Amino acid sequence: MAALVTAAARLLQAEGAGGAAAGGVVATTAAKASGGGSGGGGDGGGVADAGEAATALARVLAEGAPRLLLASPQRLVRSGRELGAVCKARGFQALRLLRSRPDLLLASPHLVAAKMDALPGALGLPPRRVRELITARPDLLRRSPATVAARYRSLGALLGVPPAFVAELVAAEPGLLAAAAGGLAARFRGLAGRAGRLGAEDVADMVMVDPQMLLNAPLPPPTPAMAAAAGSRAGSRASSVSSIDSDGDDGGGGFPGRGGEEGALAALLRLSTVAGVSVDAVLHLAVRDERVCSLSDDELATRRAALAAALGLAETAAAVNAGDPPPLAAALAAAPELMLLAPETLTARAGALGRLMLPEQGSASAALRQHPELLLQEPTELAARLASLAELLLGPGEGAAIGAAAAADGVAAAPAPVSDAAPPPLPPPSALPPRLREALSRHPGLLSSPPFVLADKLLVLQSLFELPGPLVRELVLREPGLLAVSVEGLETKFRALAASFGAFSADAIDVVLADPSALLRADTEGLGGAAPAGMNGWRACDKRSSESSARGV
């Protein structure tokens, strides 16, 4: 809590809400934290008042985002200082934003800055208007600028009004941009259906007069098809639960019925031993899909053989029983969910990935050995991510041109949405530009990350180096490994690289422009850390970035 009070005091001091007294709180708190006493002199009453204000603000922040209490003191103080500077430079009041969204302290200040800078251009609105929108709804910073812009455009299309009218509408009710486009469209259809003789245009006019009418409208009931699908899922879950409670042997070598905890534990241990996966991983799999514990030893061996074939290990089922080779063991340890896939599914997905990434060779075994988690995605999802990656790295023009055709072999899908907008069609493998194909061959893990995670990293790089988007994309195409580092890691590496130049820290940008891999080596050379590498590095980095986005930005 002391670290949060210190961060709150710095924020109060930065916005002039306490002045020197707030600075005294910072010094006093730091002295207490280091065991140096209560700090020195000054206006005791002023410091006490400022201390109470900082403590009260820290309580408000902790109540809104309890995770702040788990963050390190260094991170909180640094985030408060950097976020305050970002907001002050752009005309925002950091305290006002934080009182509404305390979890902004857990977000990357550079990512927040990049989103603040990108939103005016994405929305086509003056910076003052965008500043008012963000101040009213700081949760807009949770989404990418592309998503907010897509919602802005879809709102105009939904109501059939020009952009100038949409600007006035969201100024009156910024919450319209915080709602998903699909939900607003469903509510609008519900309003139109209940309007009787009034048409959609009349309903749109009413929404323009009273935007709350659209936000408060109830969602229409699900269609019969949606209800049937939901019932099917519920029935499947009920069946799964009832199978655990059934009496007698299940006949599948899984949980031996309701024979007691020892029976369930025996099934988990058997699965762990035969599959070569930790008990903890097997337990998580059983929670997700209880049927995995009903797999016989022969079925498990067959699935491992299929996985070995997908990884290009040329194993038979008999050879698998003799013991796992290191690549297969590593793949199962990294992605134990692969045991849930049937052999034919593994084979089909490996073939589809080969046709998507390497149409000449038709095999992606080397990429799958490095990133076996790619097999956990449907071919259509991988194809969608490939199309979105083309949009992110090659720019809207080239990406849209690539997406003009359908994929080969019937593997067609829209790109995984970076926003709510309708994405372009899937690019066929043969149309992939050489530079994109080269980037994927060097770092297949680019397809492991959701597009919004990669988009956030590009924004952070743009903010760190103060470079235009096309130049940042050029750096990433030259060194795709930059996208393997988490948002927090990128900031740490940049600080380390800049610090290594001392008073000439601006020269760090020139070094990265000449050799983008210098940023990957920065903390290895300066701070003693190592850049993440391989599938575990990609997974750890992307998990941290996804959690950061889910927490606040």
Sequence ranges of the domains in the chain: 2-106, 122-216, 229-348, 451-551
Structure token digits, residue 539: 């997974």
Q: Give percent above pLDDT 90 in the chain.
A: 14
Instruction: Write the pLDDT tens digit of every residue in 247-272.
Output: 444 433 333 343 344 466 777 787 77
Phi and psi at 162, nearest 5°, equal: -75, 165
Letter for the amino acid at 40? Answer: G
Whether 367 contacts 535, CB under 8 Å: no
DSSP codes joined into one string, 428-455? PGGG--HHHHHHHHH-GGGGTS-HHHHH
Contacts of residue 395, Cβ cutoff 8 Å, sequence gap at least 6: 469, 470, 473
Say if residue 475's pLDDT is above 50.
Answer: yes
Closest CA to 529 of 501, 473, 488: 488
Helices (H), 101-144: 109-123, 127-136
Say if residue 28's pLDDT is above 60.
Answer: no
Instruction: Give the sign of the dihedral formed by CA 231, CA 236, CA 237, CA 243.
Output: positive
Closest CA to 114 of 495, 526, 459, 461: 459
Closest CA to 60 of 3, 13, 98, 106: 98
Separation of alpha carbons 482 and 473, rounded Å = 11
Question: Which pLDDT score, from 0 to 100, does residue 261 have?
Answer: 43
Contacts of residue 62, Cβ cutoff 8 Å, sequence gap at least 6: 1, 4, 68, 69, 102
Separation of alpha carbons 308 and 328, rounded Å = 6
In Å, how far from its chain's centre is CA 54? 32
Separation of alpha carbons 539 and 357, rounded Å = 20
Separation of alpha carbons 436 and 399, rounded Å = 11
Higher local confidence (pLDDT), 230 or 197: 197
Other Cβ atoms closer than 10 A to 229: 12
Letter for the amino acid at 350? Answer: A
Helix/strand/coil (H, E, C) string of 379-391? HHHHHHHHHHHHH
From residue 264, how far is each of 244, 246, 259 by CA, in Å?
9, 13, 8
Closest CA to 302 of 356, 346, 242: 346
Say if residue 322's pLDDT is above 60.
Answer: no
Best-predicted range by mean pLDDT (131-135, 143-147, 342-346, 420-424): 131-135
Separation of alpha carbons 162 and 318, rounded Å = 67
Instruction: Write the pLDDT tens digit of every residue in 205-238.
Output: 888 999 898 888 887 776 655 455 444 444 443 3
The single residue listed with the structure tokens 């907001």 is 87
Question: Which pLDDT score, from 0 to 100, does residue 540 have?
Answer: 43
Separation of alpha carbons 146 and 153, rounded Å = 10
- Tell me the CA end-to-end span of the chain in Å, nearest whole number: 23
- pTM of full prediction above 0.75: no
Angle at 473 between CA 526 and CA 359, to 5 degrees: 110
Separation of alpha carbons 275 and 336, rounded Å = 9
Separation of alpha carbons 434 and 79, rounded Å = 40
Other Cβ atoms closer than 10 A to 536: 12
Look at residue 220 and give its three-state secondary structure.
coil
Letter for the amino acid at 228? Answer: A
Contacts of residue 277, Cβ cutoff 8 Å, sequence gap at least 6: 271, 332, 333, 336, 339
Say if residue 378's pLDDT is above 60.
Answer: yes
Separation of alpha carbons 184 and 213, rounded Å = 11
Instruction: Write the pLDDT tens digit of every residue in 258-315.
Output: 334 446 677 778 777 776 777 777 777 777 777 777 777 788 888 888 888 888 886 4
b or e along 291-316 (b: 16 or more beta carbons within 10 Å of the residue's beta carbon)? Answer: bbbbbeeebbbbbbbbbbbbbbbebe
Q: What is the mean pLDDT of residues 78-102?
A: 90
Other Cβ atoms closer than 10 A to 129: 16
Question: Which pLDDT score, from 0 to 100, does residue 431 have?
Answer: 59
